[in-house]
Amino acid sequence: GMLTTSGLLCFGSVDGLVSFHPEDIVPDPHAPPVHITEIQLDGRPLTVGGGDGPGMDQAAHLTTDLDVDWRTKVIGFTYAALNFVAPSEGRYRYRLEGFQDDWSAWSSSITTSFTNLDPGTYVFHVQGTNSDGVFDPEGTHLTLRVAPPPWRTGWAYAGYVLLAIGAGAFGVRARVRAATREWRSAAQLAEARAQERDAFRSRSAADFHDEAGGRLTRISLHLASARRKVPPGSEVDSHLERAEQAQRELSAGMRDLIWSMDPGRDGLRDTLDRLAAFAETLFAASRTSFRVDAGDPALDEVVLGMNERRNVTLLFKEALNNCAKHAGASECVLKASLEDGALLIGLFDDGAGFDPGKEEGDGHGLRNMRHRAAKAGGRLVVRAPVGHGTQVLLHMPVVRRGDKA
């Protein structure tokens, strides 16, 4: 070849002399379209209709989306750019969106494959150049959906959730049944123990009544017989009279003890009735009227244990005796009510009242009553302003019949 002074490049050919200006030659500006020409599953090409192998509805270059079974291990693609000028000089690159998001390096290879894709949706993109490296940025693409195995489908997960819920419900139900059986066993054992305890108390009360009651009766008879044999008013008669009084007090105390041991007398009403009977006898020969104010129906369900009954009874007998001996009251009222979740039992009179400090220092009555209140699990409040009557108030926790062990 030869380059002329005008810049014309000349060289010979079989057809004669060829000449041209190099600057007149420009790259091919036409980007070739790219098509997927074949799709392979596990090395077997997909064909329209399937035949003896896997199939698809239309040719590969017309397919825009493809569903793949979960058992497929390898998915391959063959592609080509429609470039008829030096097609062997074309280059290709690809990417699989969702798996390999970056473009591969440019290569002359027209095939690629992907192995063991996880279930999900992917988009395969491929671009191709002409012999001058010009390419269409759009290229071509195919949406690929790899199905999950049966145990990873939505229905399977729904089944797992239902199975877990069922197993959890079964476990909870089993635990509830076990807890219920345990609770019933504990309740039955507690009930059996309570019944045995009540039976023991009943037997003990009956035995004590028979044994001690008989002996006290004989003592009373002996004392009465002895008094008939001594001169009235003598020193011996005076001693015998005091012995008879002690015997009567002992008998009354024994009856209170036996009554408190009786499991059939555990209601608050039983204690109020016993105190009312004592008060009516106590005030029978005085000008003091007595009444009980306990009309709340909820009190019918309140129970007192043996210890509480005994100490409450002795406490208010002490208070009633003090009223009869010292108050000079025209009215005495025994009240019971439920206030702020507590049981309140009170004795009110309109008598002379007293100085609590002096009374406690002389007879230890208030100290003894407070001791009884503490043993009953309560708190005692005494208000007795001189000339304005006396209030004896006992605050106790409430125990209802359904709560009794």
CATH number of residue 302's parent domain:
3.30.565.10
How much is the pTM? 0.45
Asked if pLDDT for residue 281 goes beyond 50, the answer is: yes
Q: Among 272, 267, 395, which residue's Cα sits nearest to residue 338?
A: 395
pLDDT for 349: 93
Assigned domain for 176 exists: yes
pLDDT in tens, 247-279: 666 766 666 666 666 666 678 888 899 899 989
Look up the CATH number of the domain holding residue 49: 2.60.40.10
Assigned domain for 229 exists: yes
* Burial class (CB within 10 angstroms; exposed 0-12, middle 13-18, buried 19+) of 198: middle
Same domain, 260 and 272: no
Range of 238's domain? 154-264
Assigned domain for 127 exists: yes
Same domain, 325 and 345: yes
When the pLDDT of each residue in the chain is averaged and rounded to a whole number, the result is: 84
Assigned domain for 63 exists: yes
pLDDT for 362: 46
Asked if pLDDT for residue 186 goes beyond 90, the answer is: no
Asked if pLDDT for residue 209 goes beyond 60, the answer is: no
Task: Identify the domain boundary among 234, 264, 294.
Answer: 264
Q: Across the strands, what pairs with 79?
A: 36
Helices (H), 284-380: 306-322, 356-363, 365-375
Same domain, 30 and 125: yes
Same domain, 227 and 293: no
Rounded to an integer, what distance in angstroms lies between the CA atom of residue 300 and that of residue 273? 12
Assigned domain for 2 exists: no
Assigned domain for 6 exists: no
HSE at residue 103, side-chain half, CA atoms within 13 A, is 11
Rounded to an integer, what distance in angstroms lies between the CA atom of residue 158 and that of residue 317? 74
Highest mean pLDDT among 122-131, 195-204, 214-223, 360-369: 122-131
Number of domains forming the structure of the chain = 3
pLDDT in tens, 292-307: 999 899 998 998 888 8
Same domain, 110 and 193: no
pLDDT in tens, 306-344: 889 889 999 999 999 999 988 889 999 999 999 988 999
Same domain, 196 and 284: no
Put residue 274 in one of left, alpha, beta given phi > 0 → left and psi -120 to 50 → alpha: alpha
Of all residues in the chain, the percent with pLDDT exceeding 70 is: 84
Averaged pLDDT for residues 213-238 = 76
Same domain, 312 and 214: no
* Burial class (CB within 10 angstroms; exposed 0-12, middle 13-18, buried 19+) of 369: buried
pLDDT: is 329 or 87 the higher one?
329
Number of Cβ within a 10 Å radius of residue 233: 9
Q: Among 270, 340, 262, which residue's Cα sits nearest to residue 302?
A: 270
Which residues make Cβ contacts (< 8 Å) with residue 275, sequence separation at least 6?
313, 316, 317, 320, 334
pLDDT band at 83 (very low <50, low <70, confident <90, very high): confident
3-state SS, residue 277? helix
How many separate helices (H) and strands (E) can be counted in the chain? 6, 18
Same domain, 274 and 374: yes
Same domain, 223 and 313: no
pLDDT: is 91 or 196 the higher one?
91
- Structure tokens that stand for 336 in this block: 């019971």
The whole-angstrom distance between residue 334's C-alpha and the CA centroid of its chain comes to 45
HSE at residue 227, side-chain half, CA atoms within 13 A, is 17
pLDDT for 30: 84
pLDDT in tens, 359-395: 444 445 788 899 999 999 999 999 988 878 899 999 9
Task: Identify the domain boundary among 239, 264, 289.
Answer: 264
Q: Across the strands, what pairs with 280?
A: none
Assigned domain for 1 exists: no
Task: Identify the domain boundary among 152, 167, 189.
Answer: 152
Asked if pLDDT for residue 405 goes beyond 60, the answer is: no
What are φ and ψ of residue 290, in 5° steps? -130, 140
Same domain, 227 and 297: no
**DSSP label of 388:** S
Same domain, 160 and 134: no
Same domain, 116 and 49: yes
